[in-house]
Amino acid sequence: MELDLKNIEWREFFLKDVFTEIQRGKRLKKSDHQKGNIPYISSTSYNNGVDGFVGNTEKVRVFSNCLTIANSGSVGSAFFQPFEFVASDHVTALQNEKFTKYIYQFIAVACYGLSEKYSFNREISDKRIKREKILLPATPTGKPDYTFMETFMRQKEQKQLAKYHEYIKKRLEKLKNYQDIESLHEKKWSAFEIANLFNVKIGKNVDGNKVNKKNGETAYITRKESNNGLDGFINFDPQFLNEAYPVITIGNETAQPFVQTFPFFTGTKVNILKHKQEVSAEALRFISRCLEMHKSKYSYSFTIHSTRLKRQKILLPINTNQEPDYIYMENYMKRLEYEKLHQYLEYWTLDIG
């Protein structure tokens, strides 16, 4: 029987009574970050809180298998971390060794309610977090009903996995007829200037500080470096809507390109690249990766504004006419996606037994 959140008793519980260990992360300045592959968890509300990867092992606080909650920035954003990570001083790690991932995930959602009480000017301090309460399902004896939480989240996971499984099968059906092509090393390449391939324009003036990014219906794309540039969903004046797609968007300061395959709003800090020919989204993803290879030379002090972007040259595979080989790019990306989705499908099958 599928569990329902409406037909259970809820009670408030102190975080200090739910978790056996509560500890804030430690400050690690950007300039002190060492190269490595340890996830660095900070106050971002995206990507499970991962704000990069570091190699630091000294003068840091390392946690694993726990919940993290943002003290500042995206205050109240909570995630279950199943892996070992370095925590910044902008998050607090909350742990209970008896909890499974499903219990952690349920409580993470409950913690999001804390965001309504805090802001950039009022952070969750160490003292405040221990006094905080969250609403949780309760047993008849008045204790947190961890059995309910576990079962509920397991049911949700199975429903989502079933949807994902169906999506993969449909997507594989669309990709299966990709053409066999030579490897990247066997292909001939040539340099092309962006202005010769794309029409470049900047986004229209949508002020992200003045729009509601939670209750809208249309994607709001910014210069973010993650989540395809998505910074929420908004409702705004239709005259500012970008309806020509697929296109590549790239933020001035971050120089991070993404392919957009749907209508979206954006602001003046984002460049929009519309190809002068009819080019598939898969080919644009290939080009986007080639653009990303130049990302390191741009920064907040040397931005990739539209003038510089138009002059930027990128290497692309070419056909016998010495032109960009869009058919090759499309099939390369289709094959890559096809193989990766097959791996996901095999993992999904093994995971559920």
Residue in 8, 1, 19 with CA at minimum distance from that of residue 140: 8
Average pLDDT over residues 2-24: 92
Q: What is the pLDDT of residues 50-96, one digit of tens each?
A: 988 999 999 999 999 999 998 887 887 899 999 999 999 999 999 99
Percent of the chain with pLDDT over 70: 96
Exposed / middle / buried, residue 9 (Cβ in 10 Å: 0-12, 13-18, 19+):
exposed
Which position has the higher pLDDT, 347 or 144? Answer: 144
Instruction: Using the predicted structure, report yes or no on whether residue 353 has a pLDDT greater than 50.
Output: no
Give the DSSP H or E segment for 315.
strand 313-317
**Per-residue pLDDT, 349:** 66
Q: What is the pLDDT of residues 302-349, one digit of tens each?
A: 999 999 999 999 999 999 999 999 999 999 999 999 999 988 888 766
**Per-residue pLDDT, 171:** 92
Which residues fall within 8 angstroms of residue 252, CB to CB, at 6 or more apart? 223, 269, 270, 271, 303, 304, 305
Residue in 300, 270, 138 with CA at minimum distance from that of residue 208: 270
Query: Strand pairing partners for 274?
Result: 199
Listed ranges 25-29, 70-74, 188-192, 346-350; the one with the highest mean pLDDT: 188-192
Residue in 21, 23, 63, 67 with CA at minimum distance from that of residue 39: 63
Rounded Cα distance between 244 and 200, Å, is 12
- All domains of the chain, ordered by start, with CATH? 10-149 (3.90.220.20), 189-338 (3.90.220.20)
Strand ranges inside 45-194, DSSP E: 50-54, 62-63, 66-70, 78-81, 85-87, 91-95, 133-137, 189-193
Which residues fall within 8 angstroms of residue 208, CB to CB, at 6 or more apart? 220, 222, 231, 267
H/E/C letters for each residue in 11-47? EEEEHHHHCCEEEECCCCCHHHCCCCCEEEECCCCCH
Q: What is the pLDDT of residues 102-130, one digit of tens each?
A: 999 999 999 887 777 765 567 778 788 88
Query: Strand pairing partners for 83?
Result: none
**Per-residue pLDDT, 351:** 56
Phi/psi zone of residue 108: left (φ > 0), alpha (ψ -120 to 50 degrees), beta? Answer: alpha
Amino acid sitting at position 233: F
**Per-residue pLDDT, 121:** 64
